[in-house]
């Protein structure tokens, strides 16, 4: 009877988990810690970390202030990045429209009202997190599916033609092309 060689059981997570943590301070002075793999999803933050020369030894002593993003958005962003830090890279984009359904976890995370979502998008844009941008825009885009212009105005809070005209008239006294 042969004996199976004993292989040490190692949790995959343990091996992958990188002990380096970074500290981020939001515009309203909330402090967040984020792992190295997660923070790499933000091109802006990772560039900053590289430029500042932060290392495993000094990372926690040097919090990174992010003045354009408030604590609420930063919390969502940190959660998102931690969740997706080990994702494989997306396949190359083709001219086919990708069939894509947002994972349930992310749908829940992004179930916030439109104004909050647009704020999150601006923060995501600033921090340059491609995947979160893709997901947020997907949520925004899904709202438009098969809607009339009138419905879209309500959904996105777009001013009506009349409001627009009034704005335009007040903004400029010069005659239009027909006037």
Residue 159 binds another protein (CB under 8 A):
yes
Among 1-9, 29-37, 53-61, 142-150, the segment contacting another protein (CB under 8 A): 142-150
Asked whether position 14 contacts another protein by CB under 8 A, the answer is no
Considering only CA atoms, which of 16, 18, 142, 128 is closest in space to residue 77? 128
Count of positions on this chain that bind another protein (CB under 8 A): 34
171 binds another protein (CB under 8 A): no
Q: How far is the CB of 45 from another protein (least distance, A)?
A: 18
For another protein, give the closer residue by CB, 38 or 132: 132
∠ CA 101-105-106, nearest 5°, is 60
* Residue 15 binds another protein (CB under 8 A): no
Q: Kindly provide the residue ranges of all beta strands, DSSP E only, lying in the chain, ordered along the sequence.
A: 21-25, 31-35, 64-65
Report the site for another protein in 80-139 (rule: CB under 8 A): 95-97, 99, 114-115, 118-119, 121-122, 125, 133-134, 137-138
Q: 25 has which bridge partners?
A: 31, 65
Separation CA 65–CA 29 (nearest Å): 8
Per the CB < 8 A criterion, the answer to whether 33 and 48 are in contact is no
Candidate list 8, 53, 149, 179; residue touching another protein; CB under 8 A: 149
Please select the residue that binds another protein; options are 5, 19, 141, 175, rule is CB under 8 A.
141
Number of neighbours of residue 63 by Cβ within 10 angstroms: 14
**Closest among 58, 57, 70, 82 to 29, alpha carbons compared:** 70
Catalog residues that contact another protein under the rule CB under 8 A.
95-97, 99, 114-115, 118-119, 121-122, 125, 133-134, 137-138, 140-142, 144-149, 152-153, 156-161, 164, 168
């Amino acid at each position: 009877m042969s004996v199976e060689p004993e292989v040490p059981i190692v949790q995959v997570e343990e091996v992958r988990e990188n002990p380096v943590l970074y500290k981020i301070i939001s515009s309203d002075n909330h402090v967040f810690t984020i792992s190295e793999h997660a923070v790499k999803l933000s091109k802006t933050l990772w560039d900053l970390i590289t430029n500042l020369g932060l290392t495993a030894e000094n990372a926690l002593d040097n919090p990174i202030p992010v003045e354009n993003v408030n604590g609420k958005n930063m919390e969502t962003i940190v959660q998102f990045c931690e969740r997706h830090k080990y994702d494989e890279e997306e396949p190359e984009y083709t001219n086919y429209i990708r069939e894509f359904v947002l994972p349930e976890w992310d749908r829940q995370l992004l179930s916030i009202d439109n104004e909050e979502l647009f704020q999150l998008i601006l923060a995501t844009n600033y921090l340059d997190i491609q995947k979160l941008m893709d997901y947020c825009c997907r949520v925004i885009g899904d709202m438009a599916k098969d809607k009339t212009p009138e419905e879209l105005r309500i959904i996105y809070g777009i001013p009506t033609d009349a409001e627009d005209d009034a704005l335009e008239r007040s903004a400029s006294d010069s005659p239009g092309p027909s006037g």
